[in-house]
Amino acid sequence: MNITENRMIRHRNVASKRYSFVPAEIGLAFEDFRTILQTHGANVDGRLFFTMLNEPIAEVMTAELHMGIKENDLTVPAEEEVIFRSYFEVKGLAKIRLLNDFDEQSQAAYWALYNHVKKDNLQQKTPVFVEYKQAPDGTTYVEMSVGVSG
C-alpha cells in the first residue's frame, strides 16, 4: 500500500454527528444521519466521510460521521447533536487509497498508517479519516488518512 504525504481534506458545507455502532452497521448510522438531515430541510449532496475515534478492532466503533449538504447553512434542534461547518479542512495528512475490497483492506490500511507514523517517528495529530469518493468514471474508492507532524 502506497502512503502519500502532505495531503488534505477540504470540503464546504458539512454536517457532522457522532455515533457509536457495531462496525457492520455503519450503513445504518449513515442512513439515520441522512434521515435527520433531510427531516430538517438539508439536501445531502453525496459526499460521505467519517472520523474513527477508536481503533478499528473495537467491538463498538465510535465515529463522527460527516455528510456534505447543498445548503450554505443548517439549523437542527440541539437534541439532534448535529454540527454544521461551512468549511472543513485538515492539512498535513498521510493518506492511503483503497480501490476495492474496502472491508478487507481497511484493517491493513489502518495498520499501515499506524506503522508509518511509528516507523518515521512522526506524531499523530488527528484521528483517522475515511472518505468515500468517486472517480470520473463513477468507480467508488476510499481514502484513509491521518494527520501527522514531525
User: Tens digits of per-residue pLDDT, 92-130?
Assistant: 999 999 988 877 788 889 999 999 999 888 999 999 999
**Alpha-helical runs (H) found in the chain:** 26-39, 102-119
Cell 445504518 belongs to: 28
Cα–Cα distance measured from residue 121 to residue 149, given in angstroms and rounded to the nearest whole number: 9
The band of 131, judged by pLDDT with boundaries at 50, 70 and 90, is very high
> Which DSSP letter does residue 40 get?
T
Cα–Cα distance measured from residue 142 to residue 101, given in angstroms and rounded to the nearest whole number: 10
pTM of the model: 0.91
User: Tens digits of per-residue pLDDT, 51-61?
Assistant: 999 887 789 99
- Predicted pLDDT at 23: 87
Cα–Cα distance measured from residue 114 to residue 90, given in angstroms and rounded to the nearest whole number: 18
Angle ∠(100,102,108) on CA atoms, nearest 5: 110
All structural domains of the chain, each given as residue ranges with its CATH number in brackets, are: 3-149 (3.20.80.10)
Cα–Cα distance measured from residue 66 to residue 129, given in angstroms and rounded to the nearest whole number: 10
The three three-digit cell numbers of residue 142, written as one number: 476510499
